[in-house]
Chain A
């Protein structure tokens, strides 16, 4: 073998080695990038779905609190259909026929959250169908707490409602959430979730802010300090103020 051939062979080997190294590095980046994006998309969809459930409860609040009516017809099936329709309107995703491009994690978890939400509405049927009773405390916040808890108990993903001044101490934010909420409170209203990777990029924290609407102010508005219908002092909030957030926590290593 000539000197030229040896040189040629070593160049080919070097090229192949570099190619292999590049391929391995690229695929490893791609592998870690995919679950991150998947987790972020899933967190956003989960927060949207919980918020849609809250919205459907809020839209039916007058019906739910109607003391003259017994059977309200607000069944789990009616609720589910309304949620599916509103979720489709907001995201163009049909929860009944999940599109193939949706991350597998979202495909796995969205039906679980929908089912958990439905079960909360099923559990509350006895309460909301009482005739002669007006306010029953079945409101977006209590619905959200229960649906989130049921969901979190069934999956490795944690979801909860948080606020800086919680009426329910279980909605107290942790240190990370508190920092983000404080930051959000000083910023203009935005529906964009705040996402961050912590624990050596292994845990996703995603906070989707919730703002007070006009309907919320009956209990959370003014006069500040005066007890609302549920017995809690009003916060003195104004329309558009930060009410809290939906916090989603996904660990990537466990989600795969």
Chain B
């Protein structure tokens, strides 16, 4: 008992002495912090953070003393670079396949020209002392969103639809459109497919209902769409009576021989280009009067992560200015209507990208039937 009492007395003495010590340290803390300055304060708080692992308040305290993370625009200015995700899948004429030029490996296209415009505007924003250059990160479309959310990219520009239901993953922000005349179109090889669809339009006798004509006209056919892109979302939502084939890329759909694909859905402007310049065996599906058949309207946006408000306003204001000055229209005409050689444009105005940051061996992938329909 005596022993117990003794030890408890000793324990209480130790505790009270410790409390006094901690109190005196806390009392002298402001004076000591003043002495060692803000740098020292940060180091002290970081050290405290290690001692109190998991205590987010300590890091908040660090941020209050000296903000560690600057806003995204300041970060871009100080880096002298902005990191742009761009799809490795060729979406001509928005992104052409990477080619070799006298200057090295280059990519070009409407999206690439837009990225250059963003770079020029950022250079001005950052004071114009040094150019703010884009660093392109070619990545597979399916990885773009992950790359974005993990903070590896500042923005991405890859003819991304901004208004198709299901097309906006959570946590990402979409700019005002830089390309309005988009929409989902279709390309075919067999004339009988076109006849089948046109027969449906004829039945409507002026009471036009594109969706109804497509739903009946394509029923029973094998229709391919690229996984995760808006044509896939459209087909899943609206075309219940088709055999839907999901492909890793547009070229994979074109290459597939078994099963034989009747219709390929994709962005109309891309299909318009590839049927004229790349795959002449394929033809655009048109209305009875020969005008393009657009299944649904779609516009293309630049994408950033949700939190980057300054960058978002910067991009929206820039796109608005480019639109009102006619520059965007000029770019659209240049890539969609003019006759040109992409390789030559790549050599003169293409952008380089870091070889180490692309998939080692890009495979166009495969097609497989959609499950659970």
User: Chain A interface (Cβ within 8 Å of chain B)?
Assistant: 68, 70-71, 123-133, 135-138, 141-143, 145-146, 168, 170-171, 227, 229-232
Residues of chain B within 8 A of A135, CB atoms compared: 343
**Can you list 28 A-B contacts with CB-CB less than 8 angstroms, sorted by A residue number?**
A123-B104, A123-B355, A124-B100, A124-B105, A125-B360, A126-B105, A126-B359, A127-B98, A127-B99, A127-B105, A129-B361, A130-B97, A130-B364, A131-B363, A132-B249, A132-B255, A137-B99, A137-B100, A137-B346, A137-B347, A138-B99, A146-B102, A170-B102, A230-B341, A230-B344, A231-B342, A231-B343, A232-B344
Chain A residues with Cβ below 8 Å from B254 are 132
The number of residues on chain B lying at the interface, defined by a beta carbon within 8 Å of a beta carbon of chain A, is 30
Q: Are B364 and A132 in contact (CB under 8 A)?
A: yes
B105 and A123 within 8 A (CB): yes
Nearest CB to that of B90 among chain A residues?
Answer: A133
A143 to B102, CA, bound (A): 7
- B52 touches A (CB below 8 Å): no
- Contact present for A146 and B104 (CB under 8 Å): yes
Pair A142/B102 contact, Cβ less than 8 Å: yes
Q: How far is the CA of A146 from the CA of B346 in the complex (A)?
A: 15
Are A230 and B343 within 8 A (Cβ)?
yes
A230 closest partner in B (C-beta): B343
Cα separation A115 to B143 with both chains bound (whole Å) = 34
Output the nearest chain B residue to A231 by Cβ-Cβ distance: B341
**Residues in chain B near residue A129, CB distance under 8 A:** 361-362
Which residues of B lie under 8 Å from residue A138 when comparing CB positions?
Answer: 99-100
Instruction: Compute how far the CA of A146 lies from the CA of B99 in the bound complex, rounded to whole angstroms.
Output: 14
- Of the candidates A125, A137, A143, the one whose C-beta lies within 8 Å of that of B343 is A137
Q: Is B340 an interface residue (CB 8 A)?
A: yes
Q: Once the chains bind, are A137 and B355 in contact (CB under 8 Å)?
A: no
Q: Quick one: given A132-B251, A136-B97, A231-B340, are A71 and B361 in contact (CB under 8 Å)?
A: yes
B101 contacts A142, C-beta separation under 8 Å: yes
Question: Which secondary structure characterizes the binding site on chain A?
Answer: loop
- Contacting residue for B100 out of A131, A136, A231, CB 8 A: A136
Shortest CB-to-CB span from A53 to chain B, Å, is 14
Q: Which residues of A contact B100 (CB under 8 A)?
A: 124, 127-128, 136-138, 142-143, 146
A47 nearest CB across to chain B (Å):
19
Q: Is B75 close to A, CB under 8 A?
A: no
Which B residues touch A125, using CB under 8 A? Answer: 360
Assembly CA distance A138 to B360 (angstroms): 18
Residues in A whose Cβ lies below 8 Å from that of B97 = 127, 130, 133, 136
Chain A residues whose CB sits within 8 angstroms of the CB of B359 once the complex forms: 126
CB distance from A237 to the nearest CB of B (A): 19
Do B364 and A137 touch (CB < 8 A)? no
B68-115 CB contacts (< 8 Å) to partner A: 90, 97-102, 104-105
Residues of B within 8 A of A137 (CB): 99-101, 343, 346-347
CB-based contact B105/A132 at 8 Å: no
Q: How far is the CB of B353 from chain A (nearest CB, A)?
A: 9
Which chain A residues lie closer than 8 Å to B344 at the CB level? Answer: 230-232
The answer to whether B331 has its CB under 8 Å from any CB of chain A is no
Task: Indicate if the CB atoms of A126 and B98 lie closer than 8 Å.
Answer: yes
Q: Once bound together, how far apart are the Cα atoms of A71 and B355, in whole Å?
A: 16
- When chains A and B are docked, how far (Å) is the Cα of A142 from the Cα of B358? 21
Closest to B105 in A: A127
CB-CB < 8 A to A168: which residues of B? Answer: 102, 347
Interface string of B274-302 (1 = CB under 8 A from A): 00000000000000000000000000000
* Closest chain A CB from B250 CB (angstroms): 9
Tell whether B252 is near chain A: CB-to-CB under 8 Å: yes
Residues from chain A with a CB closer than 8 A to the CB of B251 are 131-133
Q: Sorted from nearest, which 6 A-B pairs have the closest CB atoms?
A: A231-B341, A132-B251, A231-B344, A138-B100, A145-B102, A137-B99
Bound: A129/B105 CA distance, A:
13
Query: Chain B residues with Cβ under 8 A from A131's Cβ?
Result: 251, 362-364
B21 to chain A, nearest CB (A): 62
In the complex the two chains form, is A70's CB within 8 Å of B341's CB? no
Complex Cα gap A124–B315 (Å) = 33
Q: Taking the nearest CB of chain A, how far is it from the CB of B3, in angstroms?
A: 78
Contact of A232 among B90, B341, B358, B362 (CB under 8 A): B341
**In the complex, residue of chain B having the shortest beta-carbon distance to the beta carbon of A170:** B102
- Give the distance in Å from the alpha carbon of A229 to the alpha carbon of B254 in the complex: 21
Give the complex CA separation of A168 and B362 in angstroms: 29
A171 and B105 CA atoms in complex are apart in Å by: 18
Chain B residues within an 8 Å CB radius of A231? 340-345
Q: Mark B31-75, 1 if CB is under 8 A from A, else 0.
A: 000000000000000000000000000000000000000000000
| Residues of chain B contacted by A126 (CB below 8 angstroms) | 98, 105, 355, 358-362
Cα distance A128–B97 when bound, in Å?
Answer: 11
Known A-B contacts: A124-B100, A170-B102, A171-B102. Give 10 more (CB < 8 A). Answer: A70-B362, A132-B251, A132-B252, A132-B255, A137-B347, A141-B102, A142-B101, A142-B102, A231-B341, A231-B345
Q: How far is the CB of B77 from chain A (nearest CB, A)?
A: 30
Task: Report the separation of the CA atoms of residues A68 and B254 in the bound assembly, to the nearest whole angstrom.
Answer: 12
Closest to B98 in A: A127
User: A227 contacts which chain B residues (CB < 8 A)?
Assistant: 341
* A129 vs B88: C-alpha distance when bound (angstroms): 13
